[in-house]
Structure 1
């Protein structure tokens, strides 16, 4: 069952919105944590732990929104790739 063009576009837009919301929260929260860290315990920068691990999540959201192929595990994707390979073999 193939998705309509609109459904695919909606999913892509939703992923992009999720990425930007997560990025905004990441910047704001980590800036506040860095200030708290600097004021309370400047000798140990514990803020690097949430920056690093939450950063991995932000990176994953970015990859899903802008880099990774839509529905790479779907039957529709498989059929498109088979058609592409058949076109290559014909030439």
Structure 2
């Protein structure tokens, strides 16, 4: 298995921090915009809660963004490395 250089480790860490920062920005915009939509709904006196459609649709996208950033859907290379390590362990165990 290939060892990573300090520069490669730094670039990977920098990329992950940027992904987290982008997620938190996305979350902040989601909260602000949806609070505004709820406010508009409340001030117009509308009885039908129409704001749930953008809130829910955008929320689904936000959930997928969260999953991709915080490791549930990491790059295939991470998955491949883990699977390779599992196979190495199985082979060593059986020898």
Q: What RMSD, in angstroms, separates the aligned Cα atoms of the two structures?
A: 2.4
- Find runs of 4+ consecutive structure 1 residues off by over 6 angstroms: none
Task: Report the counterpart of residue 24 of structure 2 in structure 1.
Answer: 20
Partner of 2:80: 78
The answer (yes or no) to whether the contact 1:18–1:61 under 8 Å persists in 2 is no
Q: Normalization by structure 1: what TM-score?
A: 0.80
Question: What displacement does 1:41 show?
Answer: 4.3
Q: Which has the larger radius of gyration?
A: 2
- 2:67 and 2:73 in contact (8 A); partners too: no
Question: After superposition, what is the alpha-carbon deviation per residue over 1:26-72, rounded to whole angstroms, capped at 9, x for unaligned?
Answer: 11110011010111142111100110011011111111111325321
Higher relative contact order structure (alpha carbons within 8 Å, sequence separation ≥ 6): 1
**Structure 1: unaligned runs, 5 residues or longer:** none
TM-score w.r.t. the length of structure 2 is 0.77
Secondary structure in structure 1 of the residue aligned to 2:70: helix
Indicate conservation of the 8 Å contact 1:15/1:65, yes or no.
yes
Structure 2 alignment gaps of length 5 or more? none
